Amino acid sequence: MRFLLSRRFRIGLIVFSFIVFLASSLINAQTPPADYGAKGALKAPRITYEEALQYAIEDEYLAQERYKLVIQKYGQVFPFPKIQTAEKKHIEALERLYNQTDIEIPTNKAKDYVGMPSSIKVALQQAVQAEIDNIAMYNRFLEIKNLPPNAKKVFTNLRDASKKHLVAFNFGLSQQQ
């Protein structure tokens, strides 16, 4: 009997450790570094063009991954599928800017930083905030001195697209209440 209790205890300990590991992974997955994406861009004291490119592509990676997870869990809920497709185009536009420089395109680490939202309403709320931050980030980039004209055009287009995304997410959120 003593052996069985000991064995049960060990199995319980293993299960508990596994649950703690999974929970910590989910918590860590939802916490990008402070200097990543739009949040990083909005906190940085000064931004160079090269840094702007990195913040921008990181933020677009995050958005694409966030919306992909929502679609996987909740299905084709408006407006996520259309905007996820748009995020892919945003990334491609930024990759073209990278290809015009000698800077290597950063690895997409968004999967490490994006977690599954607890509901579609939470997903929409997160998307609204992400688009607000994205717009503010691009507005900040447009103030960079000596910004190349092609970058100015791309940043303007991406900011304007995010304004449309914000309208769509706000509309989706209003339908949830």
Give the domain ranges of the chain: 1-30, 33-176
- DSSP code per residue over 20-55: HHHHHHHHHHT---TTSHHHHHHH-SS--HHHHHHH
Helices (H), the chain: 2-29, 37-43, 49-74, 80-99, 120-141, 149-176
Confidence of residue 24 (pLDDT cuts 50, 70, 90): very low
Residue 127 clears pLDDT 70, i.e. is over it: yes
pTM, 2 dp: 0.81
Q: Two tokens at 92?
A: 């491609």
Residues 58-81 as b/e (b if ≥16 CB within 10 A, e otherwise) read: bbbbbbbbbbbbbeeeeeebebbe
Q: What is the chain's mean pLDDT, rounded? A: 87
Q: Which CATH architecture has domain 33-176?
A: Up-down Bundle (1.20)
What value, to the nearest 5°, has the Cα angle with vertex 47 and ends 43 and 53?
Answer: 105
Q: Two tokens at 155?
A: 């940043």
Is the pLDDT higher at 87 or at 176? 87
What's residue 14's pLDDT? 60
Asked if 30 and 115 touch (Cβ cutoff 8 Å), the reply is yes
Is the pLDDT higher at 15 or at 92? 92
Q: Which amino acid is at 60?
A: E
Is the pLDDT higher at 20 or at 128? 128
